Structure formats: C-alpha cells, structure tokens
Structure 1
C-alpha cells in the first residue's frame, strides 16, 4: 500500500526553500490521494522506468531493462502480471491490438533480448523497434525487430485509414544525434522512419518510408539550444483529424498526415526561450497544442528559484488557420531543491467536459494536474511529489497519465504509483472510459 502522504495547500505562490518536503516523503495537494505504490519487479529493479501504455485492464510500463505488464482492473489492488527482460534504451512502449512496440535508442550487438551494448560506430550494431505479441499477458512473445536509422528514441503509432485501418498500423520513429562516425546514422538525418506493420502478419513489419521533414536543416543556430534540429524527439498524432504535432529539438511542427507514409509539414515555430522541444499534446478539440521544453535534458535542477517560471516550462499555442499562435507558459509553482532534477515531461489530458486539464510528469517535481482552459492563464490545481532523495541522487516521475478514473505515474526508482484526484473540476472525467491509451496517439473523447 502507499505510505502516508502529507497534504499541503495550494497557495498559488512559489514554494519557499523551507517548504521543500523532507527527503523521500510523499506530499500531495488536499485534493489528491496516493492510492498505491508498486515497486519495480525484481528482474528489472536495477534499471529505470520510462513510458506507460494502456489497453483494457492492463498497463504496460517500459524500463531500460525491458517492460512489465500490470493488472489494473482493480486500481487499489493493481499487481504485476509479468516482466520481460530485454535491455535497451529507452524501451518506450505503445500497444495496439495484441502487439506491443518498444523503442530502442542505444546500439546493441544484436537485436535479441540477450544483446549487450555496442558502439554505433560498428556497422553491424542494431537499434530500432522491437515488436512483441502480448495476447498472453503472463508470457509475452518477441515477434520481430526492425532496424531504423539512428535507432528509435521514441515511437508513435498511427492507425491506417478506411479499410486500411483493420489491415495495418504505422509506426513513426523519432531519432536524432547523427554522426559521421555512425554508419547507420549519418548527418543530416532531417527525417523520420515509418514502419508499416501488417496486423495479421507483424513478422512482415518493415520500414516503408523515410520522409525528409527539414530539407532546409531546421533550427540549428539558435543560441541556447541543447541540440540542433535533426529529425524529431517525439511526435503526437491525432489520426481522426489527420494531423500531428512534432517536438523536433529546435522546432515545433504541425503535420498533415492524411497520407500516412508521407507526412507533410504545414507549420513550424521556434522559441528563443526553449532549449529542447521534447513532446506535444493536443487539446481535445485540437485547437491548441502544448509543447514541453526539456531544459537540461532531464538531468538538471531547473525548477528552483534561480531558473524562474518560464525556462523548462510548457508552451501553449493556439492553432488557427494552420498556424501557431503563442498564448502562455506553464511551469509548476513549487520550487524544488537544488539536488532535484526537474523539468516538464510526459503527460496526457484528463477527459473533462468543457475544460482543458492535463496531468503531467516533472521528474522530481512529481506529478502536476493543471488547467489550461484559459490558455493565457494556466493554473496548477493539484499535485503529487516526493521530497529530495536522501542519498542526493536523481530520478523522479518519467510519465504520468490519466486512464479510466486514476492517474498512473512511472517513477525512475520507486516503481508505479497509482494516484487519485477528487476535485469538482475533474470528477466528471470518471464517466469517460476508453479501451486504450497511447499518449502519443491521441484519440478524442466524448464526455457524458
């Protein structure tokens, strides 16, 4: 069960240093309850948790050492069903039907689950996407690997259109950091890889296209960039609207994906305040998009008073007539200790009728629940976090998503947290249920 949590009031003003929680202590806002913590399973306890996907009564949690499947039909009694040991950074996961897709962005000496790390400078090294059959939750089966240029830092599933929807799913593979010393990852790499997966024959999955997104090279010279644009870090699709948003290191991008194998850039924006365009989330009506800035690459303390309220924050944009219009920044108002790595990271919408509300991970800043209905004045309405680690180390929450009444958070070190918010602004979301959630593959919800 979850340990005792301390509830602290939301004041609307930044936390003072004296208000930073004691080491390793769970604290929440009064409207948030820590329901349960499930430590990482023993086979992958020594490696960090990453992204989460959901389908039916199950959560799939990626980990640098592989992935685990959790039974969440009773969230207060959620439990591990199985773990697959299959190392490879980052092992971000998505699910579709009986298939699980895992991203590998670290060169291995082969594509097997027994592989070891090997330099990308060796031509025979492998990195890309692994595909598993998870129809038997207790015994997932490795089906296929697909090698992609520069590996797969993240991946995004895109269902086919019309009759193709039941036949194929497409995987948009985001990767970056090419080098003249890497035979399979040569500059300029201003592209993504697209894998076509026949649903009835996933063993036939293969790269079907490698569209160039930035023929002009993208944003490469802006002062303060963590990395210049070279491909994308993450892409979020809204397939029913035939659009996608790309967080592409130096650029924020809008795509037309009506032709699944030929995504077309329709709008681009840059921001002198952003260091690394990391991920994107659409509002439910797709009239707005939130981009995250992973200032410091996720390893720096950027939620302290020195850095301030706008660096390492989210940026909210209106999308009108196919163009981006900046509205505001959002950053958690709770200052973190100088030992705590903290910056905006992975999150999803809470399906609330008439409001725009998001739950989001902030590494050691924990989990933030915030309202951007007024896009010019976003406000945090709830939170969950732990105090600094007693050993002074880093970590925190990699991803936090709302799924069928509960929030699930994957923590680097402590495992999977189950969280509940009880608030008049979010409670009607409990009437909305879905059978699948891949945060990078948005689907609209219909509130009752």
Structure 2
C-alpha cells in the first residue's frame, strides 16, 4: 500500500502529495458521487449470497484513527493482523465468534505479517531510532536509524517473543516467504520489497536507482542466524522510466507473490509487472516484464490462478488514499489487469486480456482502489476475493480472462461524508471456508459466501496461509 508512507517522511513524501501527484498524472479528479448511489455512513450493503458473521473492533493502542490495520496471515485456528502499532492474534476456531488471543505493541509501518513454522515476520518501513519495539521515530538520513524485518517466536501465541531483527536497505514495505529446497528445507528465504518514489536518494542505505530486493535467509530452528544473503538487482536496465498518462518509474518493487510449487513469482514493481523464475530462491531471475503506460499508475500486488497460467496485477492509483471508484476515473484505472502466461520456460510471456474493477460508485470522501485479495479454491474455476478499501470486498470470477465478472460483494458506507478518512478493507482473504478482512479502521471482519460457484472451496483445508506465498490448493 503506497498510503502506508504517510509516516515515511522524506523517502515516501506526504501521502496527500502522493495522491495528488498520481491523480494529476492520470488526468482525473475525484468528483462527488450521487447520494442515491452511495450507502449512508457506516451502512452495510451486500449481495444476497454474502453474510456478515462478525466484527471485532480495533482494541486499546490499536484503536486510534492513525493506527491502521494492515495485512493478514493464517496458521491453524489463528489469524494474525498487522497494525501500524504492532500485530494482533485472533482465535478463529469458531469463525462467527473470533476472539483476541494476544496483542503485541511494536510500532513500525506497515507491519505486514507472515508466518513460517513457529516464526512470525513483521515488516518495518519507517526509520526508527533502533530495532526494538519501544523505538522512537528516527531520521531516514541518519545512518544509525533502523528499518527492516523483525522476527517473533509464536510457539506460544498468547506470548509472542521477539527474537531477531535484520536491517534491510530502504526498509521493508512488504515481504514474501519462499521456502528453501533440498538441503535448505529447514530454511525460508524472505524477499523484502521496498522502493523509492522518485529519483532522490534518501540516506546512506537507500540510494537511487533502487531496482533491487533484499533476500534474508532464515534457518527456522536457528532464527537468530537470519541474515541478508543477496540483494539482486531485478531491473539492471533501470525498468520503466515513467511517463505516459499514469506510469510511475520503477525504483523497486511494492510486492512479490511467489508460487513455489511452480518455481514462479510475480512482481508488482511500481511501473512494471514482472514474472520471475525462483528455482534458486537466492537467485531470482526475470523471465519477462510488462507495462501499461495508458492505465496503470502503480503496480501494487499480484495473484496467480491455481494452475499458474494467469496473473492478476493490481493498480493502486492514488496510493490507496484517492477516491478512484467513480465514473470520472472510469473502469480501467485503479483496477485489476488480468494477464495470461503463454509459452514455456524462459520464453514465457505475459499477455494482457482485460481489466476488472468494481462497478459501484463510491463517495468522494472514500478511498477506493484495487488492493489485496486471494483465491477462493474452486477446482476448474478462477475466483478470488479482494479488498477495495472503502469500496468494500468483492468476490469475482476471472475463469474467462477476457470477461471477468463479480459474483458477490460486501461494503460499508463512507466513514464520513464531509472529510476523507483513510479506511476500508486492506486485505480480504479466503481461509478454510470463510472470508476474513482486516479493515483499516473497523478492525477484524468475518464473512461467509454461500454460492454454488464458490461452495466447493469450503472443502479445501489448510494449516497455513501466507497469501503472498501461494499454495497448491489441490495437491
């Protein structure tokens, strides 16, 4: 999420500036929607096949407006949500009655989360005075400031224990886990994504051009030995220089999704979408790169279909803070783009097929744009659930790459009709038969979709789900 940079000072610029820049680049301005088209403040609207089972509001220090709820990860009967102030562990053994098990205070945007074994990984993408959970804001130009990956032992989910930190260049905006292979099976590789928003270098460890990721190797039984083992440059030619109607220059990746079973990863890298060969987890290689200078402003995230022959890329137009779900912006900007993967081996290409964007008009005070989602595991179909910030949650089918269609939705009305407040669903994921959402302001939501097109997904059970490390659901 580009809007996570609200706390980022010089490196990421002020969020309002970012939003204005992106909207200016795309030649669009959010305009007030008709009041007849938009639900009332906090009013819930949904399709008949969606049921809202539960909501747990943000608690304690995590309840402030600027304590944004972020990403989600699942293990066994637990869900963990990130928050700018730390992370929360929920017991979802009874999905309609989730309970908070523990809450760990550890300030550091964005605090994206993932799990491997008994280890939880937390991203810090804001300069801090040190690597502790009690750190104060630091200065990005100060070499002594810290940002990167924090590692917690969650063997006891009621008392997570901080065990190790690894500093990474330009911090860790997001991260992706790639399991080791062969003799390395006891390790996990952490692909750390971060980026610069412009050509200016920021501090001694974040120099322009920044077309690389940091790879941290973590022995699962000896996490205190975790260390950066590679910093591959993914775009040696500099990547997309920016320009066109919307396109940002490529100066790093926002997010990478791995599909380990297929030795593939898809990178959403600001101005570029990329497909990587990750046969050697420590040495990812670019297979092919695509651009969309007409409609995509900021390549944000990626999702493979189950067969691994399609990728859905998202465009976070407006940095997650803009009101882009309206007729003026239109259906092709701030949307998903569906690409087929054609060819074999090193000759594979990404071929554009269509865009998908929710059709519901949002108010001019509602941040709404394509964001994080996951597959609903229905064999023979390509269906996913996806967060759209204050645009709510959409369940949609892209089995026909050229004709995607929505099959269910859940949405709240705006947080306010008079002022813009950052909110809505950051991540909406499907896990063991239910949809779980981390809402920036409203907290933790649980939903159930009952539909002949998705019901078979309820049969698929997992012990672990890091959405950015896609499992083979049908193995």
Same fold (TM over 0.5): yes
Residues 225 and 250 of structure 1 are in contact (CA less than 8 Å); yes or no, is this contact kept in structure 2?
no
The residue that corresponds to 2:51 in the other structure is 33
State whether structure 2 residue 452 is matched by structure 1 residue 419: no
Distance 1:67 1:331, change over 3 A: same
- 4+ long deviations beyond 6 Å: none
Correspondences of 1:166-315 after superposition (within 5 Å)? 167-177=186-196, 179-225=200-246, 227-272=248-293, 273-315=295-337
When structure 1 is superposed on structure 2, of 183-192 and 275-284 the one drifting more is: 183-192
Task: Report the equivalent of 2:396.
Answer: 370
Contact residue 226 and residue 296 of structure 1 kept, 8 A: no
Q: Distance in 1 between matches of 2:114 and 2:34?
A: 39
Equivalences, count: 432
Structure 1 unaligned residues grouped into runs of 5+: 1-14
Normalised to the residue count of structure 2, the TM-score between the two structures is 0.89
Q: C-alpha separation between the residues in 2 aligned to 1:21 and 1:371? A: 25
Matched, 1:355 2:381: yes
Cα RMSD (Å): 1.2
For residue 330 of structure 1, what is the aligned residue in structure 2? 356
The one-character-per-residue Cα deviations of 1:316-340 (angstroms, maximum 9, x if unpaired) are 0000111011000000011111111
Deviation at 1:16, TM superposition (A): 6.3
**Take 1:126 and 1:17, find their aligned partners in 2: how far apart are those partners?**
46
Q: What's the offset of the Cα at 1:389?
A: 1.3
Runs of 5+ consecutive residues of structure 2 not aligned to the other structure: 1-32
> Using the alignment, how far apart are the partners of 1:26 and 1:123 within structure 2?
48
Aligned residue number for residue 28 of structure 2: none
Equivalent residue for 2:433, pick from 405, 416, 419: 405
Using the TM superposition, give the Cα deviation of residue 417 of structure 1 relative to its aligned residue in structure 2, in angstroms: 0.4
Match of 1:73 in 2: 93
Query: Displacement, 1:226?
Result: 6.0
Q: Which moved more, 1:116-125 or 1:245-254?
A: 116-125
User: Structure 1 residue 100 and structure 2 residue 128: aligned?
Assistant: no
Q: Which residue of 2 aligns with 1:12?
A: none
Q: Which moved more, 1:17-26 or 1:177-186?
A: 177-186
Q: Which of 328, 334, 339 is the matching residue for 1:317?
A: 339
Q: Is the 8 A contact 1:226 1:297 kept in 2?
A: no
Provide the C-alpha distance between the structure 2 equivalents of 1:203 and 1:141, rounded to a whole number of angstroms.
12
Which secondary structure does the structure 2 equivalent of 1:19 belong to? coil
CA contact (8 A) 1:339 1:394 kept: no
- Picking from 416, 436, 439, the partner of 2:464 is 436
Partner of 2:473: 445
- Any idea what SS the aligned residue of 2:224 has? helix
After superposition, the C-alpha distances for 1:363-418 in whole angstroms (9 at most, x for unaligned) are 00000000011110000110011001136323111000000011000001110000
